[in-house]
Amino acid sequence: MKIIVCIKQVPSSNEVRLDPVTKTIVRDGKQSVINPFDAYAIEEAVRLKETCGGAVTALSMGIPATERLLRDAMSRGVDEAVLLSDRVFAGSDTLATSYALSLGVRKLGPFSLILCGKMAVDGDTAQIGPELAEMLGIPHVTEVNRILSVTEEEAVVEKQADGFLETLSVKLPALLTVSKDINMPRLPSIAGIRYSEKGPFRLLGAADVGADPERAGLSGSPTQVVKTETPRREQECTYLEGTQAEQAAAVLDLLREVRR
């Protein structure tokens, strides 16, 4: 069984640190990491390979430095990795990203399953999986939290829906996006790291996958970001002073004010 896992590089921390002197963002090389949800997709793919046989390919689109993360995926059991990297792809929204990934998948040849994390923690769109499946013309199931069985023809999966669980059977090839409940990702081993240093890695440009420049990158992206801003949190902390009775009276006043 051939399994493809799509992964994305995201910043390792949500916490942006400001230099207290210069007030600029501290960029101290704290690494970017594999999108946490994608780590579950990698683990599930490797587990399927271990039970059903076959091979796992990791696929990503990003800057050349993403190679490091693809090799990290190899240290966790992925067999080979492909990176789509080209200026033509720069500035892609989810549609253009899905387009590029679909070309990458086609380039890889026949496959049984594509696994993605249910969303990326930086953009939070959860669109790539479904869009990629549509572009490839294959069925998809989102937020899978258990794969119950897999044969050459179909997969039976459990999906968390609003307040209930759905069990679905899906014809292969298909795409699944997975939630955090699906497994517990393993840590790489020394043997895995040795493999990842030399494991097969391919870098593909836009021309290699036959990308139409009109549909790729910024020109292929209908999404326009009009503005980004940090939400203002208006919270205030007031300390009440005085005797217990005075403090209680002050609380009452505050509550009345809120009700108004």
Partner 1 sequence: MREILTFQPEYAEYLRDESRKTGRADSISFPETEEEVRGILRQVCAAGVPVTIQGGRTGLAAAAVPFGGHILNLSRMNRVLGIRQEDGSFFVRVQPGLALLELRKGLEKKNFDTEGWREEERQAFVEFCRAPEQFFPTDPTETSATLGGMAACNASGARSFRYGAARNYIQALRLVLTDGDVLSLRRGQCLAEGRRFSLVTEGGRRIYVELPTYQMPETKNASGYYAAEAMDAVDFIVGSDGTLGVMTELELKLLPLPPVIWGVSCFFETENQAVAFVKRLRKSGAEPAAIEYFDGGALEILRLQKKRSTAFSALPDVEDWAAACVYAEIHCGEEEEALKHLYEIGRELTASGGREEATWVARNDRDREQLQFFRHAVPESVNMQIDERRKVDPVITKLAADMSVPDSCLSQVVALYREGLTRCGLESATWGHIGNNHLHVNILPRDGEDYRKGKELYREWAKKVTAMGGAVSAEHGVGKLKADYLTVMYGKEHIREMAMAKKAFDPAFLLGRGNLFAPDVLGEEEG
- Interface positions with partner 1 (CB under 8 A): 12-13, 17, 19-21, 28-31, 33, 36, 39, 72, 75, 184, 186-194, 197
At its nearest, how many Å lie between partner 1 and the CB of residue 178?
17
Smaller CB separation from partner 1, 13 or 223: 13
At its nearest, how many Å lie between partner 1 and the CB of residue 175?
25
At its nearest, how many Å lie between partner 1 and the CB of residue 201?
17
Q: Give me the torsion for CA of 72, 73, 76, 78, rounded to 10°.
A: -140
Smaller CB separation from partner 1, 18 or 248: 18
Smaller CB separation from partner 1, 28 or 229: 28
At its nearest, how many Å lie between partner 1 and the CB of residue 86?
27
At its nearest, how many Å lie between partner 1 and the CB of residue 124?
18
CA distance 36 to 24: 27
Smaller CB separation from partner 1, 38 or 131: 38
Smaller CB separation from partner 1, 47 or 107: 47
